[in-house]
Structure 1
């Protein structure tokens, strides 16, 4: 018997009802599911999608892998609710940590899922979800409505590059037509008890990765391994935001025992995902700056901001200066970068290189819980008479207060 350290609710998928068809939903969408959404026997007859900024009960965060029978002779035969629920729980619990930034067992959020009924299992006309489940996060029992997305909700700001169990060289990548490739460096945070593989998710659109996977073990876990990331020429439009997706494959086959260690509920068939945003620069702008919104803590680590030119300076060099509307609150280092169009001169960097800036807060005596600062990036190629400007927002917190949903309830 599987012992769960968190609340779980389950629903059964049926191929009828109003609202949005369940098989048309996507991760990142929010829904308000109540008794009116269910038939008398608990089957889902409709799902009402709402904005994640409006009150809602559930957020869809993943689609599980297809259920595969352990006995090949049983392929295609409906396995029954018990087998499908076990499959759904194993998948959804493991996937939730990468989505919210913390093991769901350590929060008040509840795992919820919708799995196939025997009718949908045998319905070959369904476009999707015939063999897999929808993973959802539900509001805490003592606060039955969520008012915003829970994606990244429990990931503390100022922890750049930390995606348990991995440490990454970047939280994001900036690719352009002129610089369509970048290297992402990855290593484990601690020695694994069994090999762990980081594998490129082939469902990722518009991006290519070489090699497609790396395995970390007790010998190489502390050394950075390189993935070469490149964008496809036709699939990603300039000025868009994509997502680089990796699967985490854990070979630990230990039994499901909450006391046996951090990998105890993660058998080989379970998969976590690490998602890295990738912004695609456009030639219509001189530069790309990412991310557009940053949160930092007054006493915490600096936040990392990426800067890359989308095209070569027209003249020999161009500069980007960085200013703040509250210079007594935020320090940006460096606050000016000069890019050269050819070989780098002293004090200049090659225009094709991605630059990383560090934003940190200056402590003050004000008791203000949150403060917003605007950072402006000013591009200037004075000889060519070319200028450009972009802005990002930095939210400064006096201290980090973990959202209540990210804490265990009192019950």
Structure 2
């Protein structure tokens, strides 16, 4: 996944698609939900595959790892009432039959996420103190069937508790 300056952007890679495995990430060996201490609170955490993230999910960590260019592995999802780094607020499934090119995918992602931002937050992205990021397919992940753009919102001041829907800030 790729990160742009200002707007954070992530691109799914074929390595990520083949490298992610899902299983019973939300259960420990005793068969109970995993818990983690986040901002001094014990909260239930589900490990979800990167490609199983959907609108309404709240993620514990910044999903970019390593050099800032790739996302890999399972992600930690929590109830949005618990402290979290980002919330998925919009998505779009691309319908082109062939990969339209990285510049087209990036432009579509940015446009989608900025437009959806105002409806979700209650003010324009340019006026807001909040930050957005987006995940999108690359030519490699496209071959494996990846077509989804996901928009994420985060507060650069730190973790959020509760949804950022309608906060108008």
RMSD in angstroms over aligned alpha carbons?
A: 2.3
Q: Quick one: which of 139, 142, 145 aligns to 2:159?
A: 145
Whole-Å separation in 2 of the counterparts to 1:102 and 1:134: 20
**What per-residue deviation string (whole Å, max 9, x for no partner) do you get for residues 98-142 of structure 1?**
111221221111110011122211004xxxxx22310111212xx
Q: 3-state DSSP class of the match of 1:54? A: coil
Q: Quick one: which of 58, 65, 73 aligns to 1:38?
A: 65
TM-score by length of 1: 0.31
TM-score by length of 2: 0.70
Q: Report what 1:88 is aligned to.
A: 109
The count of aligned residue pairs is 135
Q: 3-state DSSP class of the match of 2:54? A: coil
Deviation for aligned residue 1:67:
5.8
Whole-Å separation in 2 of the counterparts to 1:104 and 1:41: 23
Whole-Å separation in 2 of the counterparts to 1:101 and 1:39: 34
Q: Report what 2:132 is aligned to.
A: 111
Whole-Å separation in 1 of the counterparts to 2:69 and 2:149: 16
Higher relative contact order (CA 8 A, sep 6+): 2
Please list every run of at least 4 consecutive aligned residues from structure 1 whose deviation after the TM superposition is greater than 4 angstroms.
none
* Structural mapping, 1:94-173, within 5 Å: 94-124=115-145, 130-140=146-156, 143-154=157-168
Whole-Å separation in 2 of the counterparts to 1:101 and 1:152: 5
Structure 1 or 2: more helix by fraction: 2
CA contact (8 A) 1:67 1:87 kept: no
Compared CA separation, residues 41 and 108, structure 1 to 2 (3 A): closer
Q: 3-state DSSP class of the match of 1:27? A: coil
CA contact (8 A) 2:99 2:139 kept: no
Q: 3-state DSSP class of the match of 1:133? A: strand
Gaps (5+ residues) in structure 2? 22-46
Whole-Å separation in 2 of the counterparts to 1:135 and 1:48: 17
Whole-Å separation in 1 of the counterparts to 2:54 and 2:62: 19
CA contact (8 A) 2:20 2:50 kept: no
